[in-house]
Structure 1
């Protein structure tokens, strides 16, 4: 069974159709070797996101910036943020195994075992964070498009969201095709957030796999996530 789960971890397509709980189990079973696998594959998404956040916040302010790391996994992104002087880091991820590995690193204040799937996370108040980050969270069976409005709810107006998405996700992942980009644009048109910039990199992992790092300034204190979910339901 373990070999099947490891294969599912490596072969993204095999996660299509899995329940969220099954996907979380896949990552729990891979947690012990997760960092080693992605180090060998020269994973860089988390490095680029950390750079984007550090570029936004002045060094003397970083220790007081409250950050939520969504799809936090084993804390690879949080480690990079810690190295850059950020100290108030919370993680959010549905996998107990990933949480166990992450908490060994001593970089998170809190770690929430939650799916970021569009539902309101009642444990977290509106406008809690100055910044929200995601690295390697946009993929088959992971963050759905509908997660974006809930992410915005958690960030204070004037705060920043920084996340990386490989180019191929927009055209190859069914959940995102003609959904993710339109949603990002609808939210900007409605004043939920404003694109600060997007930077393109050629090598998110495996010394290939180009992708974009987006930085958005949050403008709304709270938004009606249900309206966007309804819109998305009409795009398939």
Structure 2
């Protein structure tokens, strides 16, 4: 890795002042060493998320349409493939990560898109039975409002499954007093229902505890502006 990209990849705070396009470019440049880096750090988030999905879909897994958000090089999709899921699409803005991911032959489609809360025009409402995220709730990655677009894309009765290290809720500026409240507001408003959250002590580096959340989706129509307004007010109140 070039030094500047290595710093931005490893030091999350360096990404605070970067645009989304700049963050994607960092991952373009480190894509060919990404898997090796995380294997050396005993990364496990993607394994736990895949287990949560497999538990929800015990049968006919080959027919389940899944969207892997912030798909990267396909580490999570590879775990899903091992569990007999055969219809996984990837979504990630990094061309470099897509190049590496497609070598694994675990994706049906791979969309070069940011999941930043905007409506992704080439993905229809209720397109998927399941949506997954691993290692992407972090500085410079998924903003809080990305959850709203995720709900739009998953049909009612479908599953959204994602992992979040505990520290992200209190250390990532975008999420402090915002991510957890939004997750609760969405449940109170009937957009989704928390099925369970499972705690793990070792998301990576044999440490870094976190939870895998599993939500069943109940709604397709989402008033995004209402939640954006509420998130803005939550900052003003602190």
Query: TM-score scaled to structure 1, two decimals?
Result: 0.98
* Gap regions ≥5 residues in structure 2: none
In the TM superposition, residue 6 of structure 1 has moved relative to its aligned partner by 1.3
Matched position secondary structure for 2:114 = coil
Q: Distance in 2 between matches of 1:230 and 1:136?
A: 27
In the TM superposition, residue 224 of structure 1 has moved relative to its aligned partner by 1.2
**Following superposition of structure 1 onto structure 2, how do residues 77-226 of structure 1 map, counting pairs within 5 Å?**
77-226=76-225
1:190-224, Cα deviation, whole Å (9 max, x unpaired): 00000000000000000000000000000002211
Q: Distance in 1 between matches of 2:50 and 2:189?
A: 28
1:135-167, Cα deviation, whole Å (9 max, x unpaired): 001000000001001000000000000000000
Query: TM-score scaled to structure 2, two decimals?
Result: 0.97
- CA RMSD in angstroms comes to 0.8
* Gap regions ≥5 residues in structure 1: none
1:31-75, Cα deviation, whole Å (9 max, x unpaired): 0000000000000000000000001101x3100000000000000
Matched position secondary structure for 1:161 = strand
In the TM superposition, residue 235 of structure 1 has moved relative to its aligned partner by 1.8
1:10-45, Cα deviation, whole Å (9 max, x unpaired): 111110110000000111111000000000000000
Deviating above 4 A after TM superposition, structure 1's stretches of 4 or more consecutive aligned residues are none
Contact residue 198 and residue 213 of structure 1 kept, 8 A: yes
In the TM superposition, residue 226 of structure 1 has moved relative to its aligned partner by 1.7
Contact residue 47 and residue 77 of structure 1 kept, 8 A: yes
What is the number of equivalent residue pairs in this alignment? 235
Does the alignment pair 1:26 with 2:26? yes
Matched position secondary structure for 2:234 = coil
Q: Which residue of 2 aligns with 1:5?
A: 5
1:165-193, Cα deviation, whole Å (9 max, x unpaired): 00000000000000000000000000000
